[in-house]
Structure 1
């Protein structure tokens, strides 16, 4: 299949939306089919190139997803929970695949997305960076070898405007560790440091969140024991890594009619 995949970018005027437009222009095999912004945005009717510092891309910005439903093959959504669910409803109606990078989704919303994959193809990931997904595999392997003997801490840091905490990526890391150890640790049971009496409870995952400045995204997983500690870290310095990952997912997803996938599937990392 050699035809370029047409993507729609929703939340086009946001930080990730602008980055996605810019990256789409420079990515082979992908075309910008539509750019959607919030209702009443001053960008409506303008060319999408204005959001990416290009003169003209030939795509008119709109605030109505339904109006451009036939202009794209796959919708890329990095917005907010309520908006993502509304977009999902429309994509189900018109059988449009989705790449979802929205973070802060509650359990009910995540389950709804998974159920929707019976009707359309979906890639949902808390983080589309190739590096983070490699980190997840390294954490999984490390946990398998030493997880029962070491204290495990997750430290994540993001910019001051990030609304959800802990980050979706940190929760994914915690779930990866928990699944490997059969701990069934839910995000709400993670602690942010030692217990009140100063000791550490066995089979817990420590999690610390920082919000400061313009940090795009830092994640460190620490395995600590008496005499040594292992730290596995990833630091994002540019949002282009998330945009590249999302577009890679869109190109990969086009061959599927239904199914629920994540970046581990897209990158074929299951067997490493």
Structure 2
């Protein structure tokens, strides 16, 4: 049984991950963190997440959970995730980071921790989206700059970062297929008199509203035709299930900075 700790277990994703771990035949919840002084501190995870048989209680000390786990899963906030990854590196605990909105510097901090522990980092943990990453890279490599690349994403109105981490991941996949850098070719937003679209750009459009779990479309708009690759998430269960799968995969592996493509072997 893989002992899985859940950072931010009281959050929406944390509760879903707890449910997935609880139901998995090869995993067990080893602990979960909550904010110090919160109403959720010190209560049984079974009560918090409406499970049965999970007697372990929530704590506010991340080190105690990390040190007691084979792997921890983190969907908290960028700076918090990196701080937890540093503790995991000190404890020798495998780490799965599903938090989005990390800056390049914070991603570099995760990569540093991965020199000591197995660390899986992905902007999206679903099987379908990771297949989409692979498809986008292949299509971008097959088509030249006559095909303009535009990425459209929509999420619920509570999402705090834009474009989504998944959209940026799709942009990186497209850039990799073209052999260019997204930092140089990406256009994250447009407004005002922008002038004609420059050839080779990778554009983004962000929509927010309602309770949309996550819709992503990559458009390759060429002369007289348009190719569209789309993924629509109907439930966050796919992200939680993917994270647990990544956690079980990472536990006991050699140190390295892994992605979901490594986990899924695609």
Query: Is the shorter-chain TM-score for this pair beyond 0.5, marking a shared fold?
Result: yes
Mapped contact 1:8–1:72 kept (Cα < 8 A):
yes
Residue 186 of structure 1 aligns to a residue in which SS?
helix
* 2:99 alignment partner in structure 1: 102
Distance 1:104 1:190 in 2: 17
In structure 2, how many angstroms separate the alpha carbons of the residues matched to 1:159 and 1:187? 29
Counterpart in the other structure of 2:175: 178
| Structure 2 partner of 1:132 | 129
Structure 1 unaligned spans of 5+: none
Query: Among 166, 171, 176, which residue is 2:163 paired with?
Result: 166
Which of 141, 146, 151 aligns to 1:144? It is 141
1:47 aligns with 44
RMSD (Å) for aligned C-alpha atoms: 1.7
In structure 2, what is the Cα distance between the partners aligned to 1:127 and 1:33? 24
* Ranges of 4+ aligned residues in structure 1 off by more than 6 Å: none
Return the offset for 1:183: 2.4
In 1, Cα distance between equivalents of 2:203 and 2:223: 17
Displacement after TM superposition at 1:149 (Å): 2.3
Give the 3 Å change call, closer, same or farther, for CA 188–49 of structure 1 in structure 2: farther
Q: Is 2:73 the partner of 1:65?
A: no
Task: Measure how far apart 1:85 and its partner are.
Answer: 1.8
Equivalent in 224, 227, 239 of residue 227 of structure 1: 224
Provide the residue aligned with 1:207 in structure 2: 204
For the 8 Å contact 2:152–2:206, the answer to whether it is kept is yes
Q: 1:178 to 1:57 in 2, by over 3 A?
A: same
Q: CA deviation at 1:133?
A: 0.3
Residues 89, 114 of structure 2: 8 Å contact kept: no
1:81 matched to 2:73? The reply is no
How far is the alpha carbon of 1:8 from its aligned partner?
A: 0.3
Greater mean alpha carbon deviation, residues 188-197 or residues 88-97: 188-197
Against the structure 1 CA distance between its residues 183 and 67, is the aligned structure 2 distance closer, same or farther, given a 3 Å change threshold? closer
- Greater CA deviation, 15-24 or 44-53? 44-53
Q: Is the deviation greater in 57-66 or in 122-131?
A: 57-66
What CA distance in whole angstroms lies between the structure 1 residues aligned with 2:83 and 2:73? 13
1:233 Cα deviation from its structure 2 partner: 0.4
Stretch deviating more after TM superposition (197-206 or 17-26)? 197-206
Q: CA deviation at 1:22?
A: 0.9
Alpha-carbon contact 2:94-2:252 (below 8 Å) kept: no
* TM-aligned CA deviation for residue 93 of structure 1: 1.5
Quote the Cα distance in structure 2 between the aligned partners of 1:241 and 1:35. 20
Aligned length: 266
The superposition leaves residues 2-29 of structure 1 with CA deviations (integer Å, 9 ceiling, x where unpaired) of xx10100011111100100111111121
User: Normalising by the residue count of structure 1, what TM-score does the alignment of the two structures yield?
Assistant: 0.93
How do residues 226-265 of structure 1 correspond to structure 2 at under 5 angstroms? 226-265=223-262
